[in-house]
Structure 1
Amino acid sequence: MRKFLLVVAGLSLACAAVVALLQSFHKPMSQTYVQDRGYFYRFRADFEVKATGEKIAFDYVAACNIRLTRWRAGGLSNDTTLSPRAMVQATRDGQAVLLQTVDGCHGLTSENGDVPPDLLPLAVWFEDVSDLSAGLGYASEDAYDSPIAKLAFHGARIDRATRYEWEEWRKKSAEQYTERGVLPGPWGYDFPNSDPPGLGQYVRSCEGYRRLQLPDDLRAKLRDLWPEGRPRYWTMPSEAERQSLGNIILLLTRRFEPGDGRGGLPIRSGQIISRSGLRLASRPPTEIYPLLWPPLTSSLPMTKTNEKSKYVQRLDYRDGAMNGFVACQRYWEAIVFDGGGDKPTRRQVFEVDGIVTKEFSGKPPGLERPAFVAERDEAVFQYYSSVF
């Protein structure tokens, strides 16, 4: 009898386990705890509209690593994030300025001297607050010093904040928010992996080319690769770019050790601040110019076209007039491939100031875009991007 009861009890437990398992498929998993590992910092940046003198002041609290959730069914949901990724403000006259949030999640602050006063965040100017799908990015101090600049920059800083300050900022922002054009709301936007309805109307990336002038010894190496006919702008076949033009740029950047130009905080000098707070001379002084993908055809004024006869990527150099700027546009417009078809139905080319330097062979344009473009035997343009 005892053995029988043990068997029955065992079967009952097994059946209960099966029932519980089946029920788990029909109801959402519930969490057992939420562990707060949040880090918060206050990010401020001040601008001025040159034409009117209007002050545009950004002052908000960014949140990092807000929560870590463990589920009863097992596993962790790690919601590590930086939020907001960008904030937008409208001007009195109906333009807009977007500020990309500098990543301060690693504890560097201005008050501790880790972040220098020449911190330079990326700002984007839009001519119309009702259209935030394409704008002109200010990527270096040369942009603000340019005669075509619409904005003046008056500095930025990062300071430690608390969860309470973050919650208070969100509350105050919601109370003071005024809807204009297609502004994303009181708390900016974060560009999640899966876009909610409406988010696609905003820029997702800024792209351009850094122009690096070469010293005499590296100019000699570039001259050896210069095609016959000595074109002003030229490229190498895609499979040979990195082994030819790329190697020349690598030789140049190695002279500016330590640092590899990746990570850290951007500053006006063209250097970076590493996550440990060390100031690195990470790359040679450079110029930077906008890269335009269809449907963009001009960065100033920002112009779109419905041109169907050919697909043109443009480096908007203008003999140096666009130095300091990058072009910012919606992400999928930057990777579009002839309407998504398998084979191109129109000519696809890359131009510098209207001069065709490369004709694509039919692969998706994102794969064909040159990583390097040479100018005579004097300089090399190197591709640059900043994805929000």
Structure 2
Amino acid sequence: MGKVVLVTGAARPLGSRFVRKVVQDPGVDRVIAVDLVEPPRPLEGATFLRADIRQPSIGRILAEHAVDTVVHLAVTATPVSGGGRTSVKEANVIGTMQLLGACQKSPTVRRFVVKSSTHVYGAAARDPAVYTESTQPKTLPSGGFAKDVAEVEGYVRGFARRRPDVAVCVLRFANILGPRADSPLAAYFSLPVLPTVLGYDPRLQFVHEDDVVDVVALAAAEPRRGTLNSGTFNIAGDGVLTLSQCSRRLGRPTAPLLLPALTWVGAALRTVRALDFSPEQIRLLTHGRVVQTTQMREVLGFTPRYTTAGTFADFAASRGTGLLPPAALARTVDRFAELLDTDAPAAGSAAGTRRADEGAHR
């Protein structure tokens, strides 16, 4: 008998893509796809069950199908159908609690994989330049999706302690982008003009949606020799991009605003539901976030196909041309930078002379 895999969040783009991939695995006997709504397209080869993981019925599903591998992809920043922030939090936190409670009682579950996020680290001025899996945030998230993933991971750690016989894998994804991305950050980059924080140019990291599907499949499979499919792993493409580089590659100009003004703009966009421009996203666009991926490569045994730059290029191509031609915008910005560099030596020389004079007087 092959494995029986249960996938939550199967109606979403990433969930449905993972289901279509895992049903082709010869080591998998059955795939049980679960979500609140029907997927846009039939999930051929899988059994779809319309169910709410916040309800006790999820326990009956695990028992009836003798599920041994659970892949929890329903932790998300956006609602699956309508609803607001409250419904998202309930699905993320209450849904995970109920699912873990059902897994704890199930004698057949042997592997649990959960889609988390690097949002768990937060974003603040005093944070380290690069986060490792053991980095503790300076300030715990106070709300939004970041708080959701922090709570979800806390419940998962508790489950791992109570069921040491279950291999638990937490995948902390950087910002997910790609042609089909439907995240708040993807919506932000789709704006004709990008509001930014005046005086800040944060470093950002991305992971391609194709790599997300591949690494989830790896984590849900039996470990290969020399790898370990349990633990917590940062997942991101190589390299970083600054927000200004992103805007140039999109051909979209930026509108630098003072932080209070940007906060007001974000609140206004959320009020009219034009964009989920949350406080945590504003912090990301102020301070940025970069994670180390050594564990992903050396322990999990995964190497992304896309770099951060390659991921963003694929995303940008799917969004079409912005208000300004990217090449012309890049040349203009580079020319402006050259002009600044031309003036820099003189200023530096004056400063150096002044420091030398001060030293002589001392």
TM-score by length of 2: 0.26
Q: Which is greater in Rg?
A: 1
TM-score by length of 1: 0.25
| Bigger strand fraction | 1
